[in-house]
Structure 1
Amino acid sequence: MGDDATLRRLLADIARGEAHRLADLYDLTSPKLYGLILRIQRDRGLAEDVLQDVYMRIWQAAGAYRPEAGPPLPWICTIARNRAIDSVRRTVERQGPERDDGEDWVARLIDPHDGEAEFMDRSALLACLGRLDPVHRDCVVLAYCEGRSREELAQHFEKPVNTIKTWLHRSLAGLKTCLEAAS
């Protein structure tokens, strides 16, 4: 994995249209990004498609990266995470909203060994999620792990959008308080 200065230089070169630098960025970051994507989008073929889409997005958005906003790797990881969540959302829309495969959706986004992306401690998050009302917890997980919109959640839970907003707001406030106490 390249250091911040190398990644910043590569993004600046890509923003200037230097296509060969995208290959250099790919060589440095693709293993990490593929792992991140694969935790969210479990299908290897779809994960590979998402990875290619991520680099197309980086090619298009490299000029939007601002070094003063923070290191480049979290910016790149955010693009990958968002693209992977979008891919899962499209898969869920094709297969229907109900997934009953018993999968731990939180585990798809959290890797306690991934210090660079600064993921929260998995056990603390799971403990705090466990303190939420089960319906509210499911709402939070669907919103933040599957990328469901408030409108989709309102339809899923058969509640008004404002109720979903309230559930999410209160649940996130509760999670924040719980996580702060755990740290």
Structure 2
Amino acid sequence: MGPQEQLIQWLQATAQGDKSAFAQLYKATSGKLFAVSLQLLRRRDWAEDVLQDAFVRIWHNAADYHTDKGTVMTWMISITRYRALDLIKTRQFKAEHIELDPDWRADDTEEESVSLPRERVKLDDCMSALEAEHRQSIYLAFVNGLTHHEITSHTGAPLGSVKSWIRRGLARLKRCLEA
């Protein structure tokens, strides 16, 4: 039995009220779901709250899962991401107050380490020069991994605006970095 089949089996048993199967499902997936939550929220305490809430929803909605919704893990990640976005909204956490985290970038290689500090400063300067909507949308899309639709839910802006902000912001960012 493959990992997907095992998750389906545990989820189906969970839908029938099997607490042992739910415990196995939790044990197998909680680390990944916590990482998703922490990546979005950047606060361990909030990520823990979201994880707990996500598993409560998974317990109550296990019978609603169907394979046409994707893999079990994709379905569970979706629940977790939406719980995280809801928490951001309920705590009136505004994305425009998020500062770029210097640790979000990939690790440097030895050859790149000499030129990267200068490039990072330039990137931060160019990001700071963008309009707030452009900066926020780019950050949510590329750092937090939100889709265009998730950004519209998060910001309340129309889908067309979000797409334009990202497109224009990336064009301005490119011009700034090439200057």
Aligned residue pairs: how many? 142
Alignment of 1:33-112 (within 5 A): 33-91=33-91, 93=92, 98-103=96-101
Partner of 1:12: 12
Task: Using the TM superposition, give the Cα deviation of residue 14 of structure 1 relative to its aligned residue in structure 2, in angstroms.
Answer: 1.0
Say which SS state the counterpart of residue 17 (structure 1) adopts. coil
What are structure 2's unaligned runs of at least 5 residues?
Answer: 107-125, 169-179
Percent of paired sites with the same residue = 26
Partner of 1:168: 162
Q: Could you tell me how far apart the structure 2 residues matched to 1:142 and 1:85 are?
A: 15
Q: Could you tell me how far apart the structure 1 residues matched to 2:39 and 2:98 are?
A: 18
Partner of 1:26: 26
Task: State the one-letter code of the partner of 2:88.
Answer: V
Q: Could you tell me how far apart the structure 2 residues matched to 1:50 and 1:99 are?
A: 21
Task: State the one-letter code of the partner of 1:90.
Answer: T
* Runs of 4+ that moved beyond 6 A: none
Out of 135, 140, 160, the position equivalent to 2:137 is 140
Partner of 1:122: none
Inter-CA distance 150–139: structure 2 relative to 1 (3 Å threshold): farther
Q: Could you tell me how far apart the structure 1 residues matched to 2:155 and 2:40 are?
A: 19
Partner of 2:117: none
TM-score (norm 2): 0.61
Task: State the one-letter code of the partner of 2:47.
Answer: A
Q: Could you tell me how far apart the structure 2 residues matched to 1:30 and 1:151 are?
A: 24
Q: Could you tell me how far apart the structure 2 residues matched to 1:34 and 1:79 are?
A: 12
RMSD: 3.8
8 A Cα contact 1:142 1:148, kept in partner: no
8 A Cα contact 1:89 1:148, kept in partner: no
Which stretch has the larger CA shift, 82-91 or 8-17? 82-91
Q: Which has the larger radius of gyration?
A: 2
What are structure 1's unaligned runs of at least 5 residues?
Answer: 112-129, 155-163, 175-183
Say which SS state the counterpart of residue 97 (structure 2) adopts. coil
